[in-house]
Amino acid sequence: MSENVENAIVNVQGLYKEVASLNPQNVSPLVILHELDFTIQSGETIAIVGPSGSGKSTLLGLIAGLDTPSRGKVILDGENLTAFNEDERAQVRAEKLGFVFQSFQLLTSFTALENVMLPLEIVDRKNARELALSVLGRVGLSERLSHYPNQLSGGEQQRVAIARAFAPEPKLLLADEPTGNLDTATGQRIIDLLFDLNQEKGTTLVLVTHDHGLAERCDRVLQLEAGRLVHADAREHQTESQIKKQKERHAAGTAN
C-alpha cells in the first residue's frame, strides 16, 4: 500500500502497547498491540474492525492521546502526541479532535445545548451558543435544547453526542461503536448522520465497529487480530461510486 506520509493527518509508527498481566501465575506482560504502522489521509473514512479483544478500542484511545503507548509514535496533524504530557495532549484534543462514545458520555447535569457548547467554550469560541444551536438543528434536536440526558431517548442522546463532536469542526472525528447501544433503525439513522456530516465538514472519520455493513461504507478498513494489523487497505474492493465520492471530497478540500 502506497502511503502519503507528508499529508497524513494520522501517522502511526511502530505502535506497541503492553500491560501487566492480572494473572499472578503469569509474570509476562500482556501485549495489546504489536508494532502497528499505518497512515490515515485527511478526509478519509476509516473502519477499524476485528473480534472482541483484538485491540480496537485501545488503538482508538492511543490515536486520541487518551492513553500512551509502551513504545512507538502517534503523530496527529504533524504533532507527536507521544512526546507530549497529558495537559499538552488534552490541548491537542480540544483543538483537533472530536470523539463519539458508545455510551454517549454526556454530562447529566447539563442540558443538550450546554453539552454541545462545552467543547466550544473550552477553546474560547466567542459564538459558542450560536454554533451549538446550529449543529443541534442540523441533527434535528432544535426542540430538545433544554432537555437533560435522562429526558432524551438513546438515539437523541447519541445525536447530542455527535453534535458535540462536530461543533468545534475538528480535523479528526473518532467514534467507538457509535451504534452499539441503539436499535437497528436508530443506529442506521445515526450512521447516515455521521457520514453526512463527514462529507459536509470534510472531517476525517475513524470508526471502531463490528458492523460489516458500516465498514463497507468506509474508504478503507483496518483489520486487527490479536493486536496485529492483518489488513489495512480496502481500496481494491471499492465500488465506482465510492471512488467517485472520495475524489469529489478531496477535490472539494483542495478547492477550499
Dihedral sign for Cα atoms in the order 144, 149, 169, 128:
positive
67 vs 232, residue with greater confidence: 67
Domain residues of the chain, as ranges?
8-255
pLDDT confidence tier of residue 156, bands split at 50, 70 and 90? very high
Domain 8-255 is found in CATH 3.30.930.10: no
Percent of the chain topping pLDDT 90? 61
Given a contact cutoff of 8 angstroms between Cβ atoms, the answer to whether 216 and 232 are in contact is: no
- With a cut of 90, say whether residue 199 has pLDDT above it: no
Given a contact cutoff of 8 angstroms between Cβ atoms, the answer to whether 48 and 61 are in contact is: no
- With a cut of 50, say whether residue 246 has pLDDT above it: no
Between the alpha carbon of residue 186 and those of residues 143, 191, 208, 223, the distances in Å are: 18, 9, 18, 26
Q: What is the pLDDT of residues 71-95, one digit of tens each?
A: 999 999 999 999 999 999 999 998 8
Given a contact cutoff of 8 angstroms between Cβ atoms, the answer to whether 158 and 182 are in contact is: yes
